[in-house]
């Protein structure tokens, strides 16, 4: 290893008073920790009986006033300041600049947080979060998401693990939560996911997604979105609780359903049975008051039964909807039908009041679902030939030349 120069030794001495530990300095410089300790001890203040040494100038001393000036101007990027003072002749490293600017940076004080409680049945926030990638039994790796739906009054929890965050999936999870609690609250506080809100303004009302607003009118709740760039504790704390308390308990998973079976057991035996720190009572003991204040929900009438979207039948006898192509009878080519997507993932298509076909769920992404419906028979196609000028003209059909006597023989006189 090369010998340590005086400039490197002085830089190590400057780093230690700025809060860097010996181990961190050793990792950054590549020097042994014992060597770093010897330099630090040598730079430590001497006892009273020892003669005091004159203070040694530090690399950063000539540039501290300039750094303070730049921070007062609003520049807190240490890399930018480092580039500027290096152009002025600064011989040291970036670490000293960062440590010095860290002492100048004002301590951020969090703003006041107003805690509020809602009456029973009044509000339920919903939130989601990614839980990383998981490998299935067939070797495929897919993203896993968690949908959490807690009650603001009782803190009772309902959650579900899903494989995507599409609008259909989130609305299905919401209806599963309604079924779990047996009713619909007055208000649902959502986060700023695209399936629920249309834009993310900083201040002012948050416009909701038209389809989510239509679902809210259908189910009978008032949609409300949390203010942008602000946390909503009752919706996000359960996510952290789920990640910290339930997730470490999961060892082996066979299929997707295995994520929700132990999750439901954990909610019933741990999450709802614990003594909540704020309420000083178990969520399960307050659930009856929440349930009594809910609007009854009809499980036999999901929101998917309401949705109808017009689609035109193409010349190939296929209807494009939700990323898939669905076959319809050939006689309906060119007509405008109504598409309905049930929660099972299939598709029903009708024209007027007549149902043309009902397909099951597709087997893959961007699938062409044909079922037992035959494809339309292609009609005659015109042939084309190229001219000398590069234009395309229709070629005349082949005509058999016949004598007029043949026509006279078949036409009565």
Buried b or exposed e, range 197-227, using 16+ CB within 10 angstroms: beeeeeeeebebbeebeebbeebebebebbe
List pLDDT tens digits, range 389-408. Answer: 555 555 566 666 677 677 67
In a domain, 379, yes or no: no
> Are 183 and 269 within one domain?
yes
Query: pTM for the complete prediction?
Result: 0.56
> Are 185 and 291 within one domain?
yes
> Are 87 and 157 within one domain?
no
> Are 97 and 191 within one domain?
no
The number of domains in the chain is 3
> Are 273 and 157 within one domain?
yes
> Are 321 and 176 within one domain?
no
> Are 22 and 62 within one domain?
yes
> Are 73 and 135 within one domain?
no
If 0-12 CB within 10 Å is exposed, 13-18 middle and 19+ buried, where does residue 100 land?
buried
> Are 338 and 280 within one domain?
no
Note whether 394 and 380 are within 8 A (CB). no
CA-CA distances (angstroms) from residue 227 to 122, 123, 194, 207? 19, 16, 15, 11
In a domain, 226, yes or no: yes
In a domain, 338, yes or no: yes
> Are 182 and 331 within one domain?
no
In a domain, 86, yes or no: yes
In a domain, 28, yes or no: yes
In a domain, 117, yes or no: no
pLDDT at 398: 65
List pLDDT tens digits, range 215-234. Answer: 888 888 998 887 655 555 55
List pLDDT tens digits, range 207-217. Answer: 888 888 888 88
What percent of the chain stands above pLDDT 90? Answer: 10
> Are 146 and 279 within one domain?
yes
What mean pLDDT is predicted for residues 16-36? 72
In a domain, 113, yes or no: no
List pLDDT tens digits, range 167-200. Answer: 888 888 898 999 889 899 999 888 777 788 877 7
> Are 28 and 100 within one domain?
yes
In a domain, 385, yes or no: no
What mean pLDDT is predicted for residues 338-353? 81
Q: Which domain holds residue 330?
A: 308-369
């Amino acid at each position: 290893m090369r010998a340590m120069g005086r400039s490197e030794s002085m830089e190590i001495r400057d780093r230690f008073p700025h809060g860097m530990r010996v181990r961190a300095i050793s990792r950054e410089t590549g020097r042994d920790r014992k060597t770093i300790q010897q330099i630090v001890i040598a730079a430590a203040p001497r006892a009273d009986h020892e003669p005091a040494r004159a203070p040694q100038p530090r690399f950063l001393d000539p540039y501290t006033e300039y750094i303070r000036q730049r921070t007062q101007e609003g520049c807190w990027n240490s890399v930018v300041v480092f580039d500027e003072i290096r152009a002025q002749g600064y011989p040291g490293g970036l670490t000293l600049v960062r440590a010095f600017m860290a002492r100048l940076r004002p301590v951020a004080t969090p703003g006041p947080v107003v805690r509020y409680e809602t009456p029973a049945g009044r509000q339920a926030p919903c939130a989601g979060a990614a839980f990383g990638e998981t490998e299935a039994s067939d070797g495929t790796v897919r993203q896993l998401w968690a949908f959490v739906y807690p009650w603001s009054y009782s803190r009772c929890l309902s959650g579900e693990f899903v494989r995507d965050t599409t609008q259909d999936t989130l609305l299905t999870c919401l209806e599963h939560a309604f079924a779990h609690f047996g009713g619909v609250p007055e208000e649902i506080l959502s986060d700023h996911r695209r399936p629920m809100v249309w834009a993310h303004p900083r201040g002012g009302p948050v416009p909701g997604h038209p389809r989510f607003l239509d679902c809210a009118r259908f189910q009978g709740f008032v949609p409300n979105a949390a203010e942008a760039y602000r946390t909503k504790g009752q919706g996000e704390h359960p996510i952290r609780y789920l990640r910290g308390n339930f997730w470490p308990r999961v060892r082996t998973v066979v299929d997707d359903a295995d994520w929700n079976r132990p999750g439901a057991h954990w909610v019933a035996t741990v999450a709802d049975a614990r003594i909540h720190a704020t309420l000083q009572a178990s969520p399960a003991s307050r659930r009856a008051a929440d349930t009594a204040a809910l609007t009854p929900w009809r499980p036999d009438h999901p929101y998917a039964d309401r949705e109808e979207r017009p689609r035109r039948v193409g010349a190939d006898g296929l209807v494009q909807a939700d990323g898939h192509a669905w076959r319809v009878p050939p006689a309906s080519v060119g007509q405008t039908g109504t598409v309905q997507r049930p929660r099972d993932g299939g598709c029903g298509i009708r024209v007027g009041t007549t149902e043309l076909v009902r397909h099951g769920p597709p087997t893959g992404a961007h699938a062409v679902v044909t079922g037992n419906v035959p494809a339309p028979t292609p009609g005659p196609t015109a042939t084309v030939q190229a001219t000398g000028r590069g234009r395309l003209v229709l070629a005349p059909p082949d005509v058999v030349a016949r004598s007029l006597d043949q026509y006279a023989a078949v036409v009565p006189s």
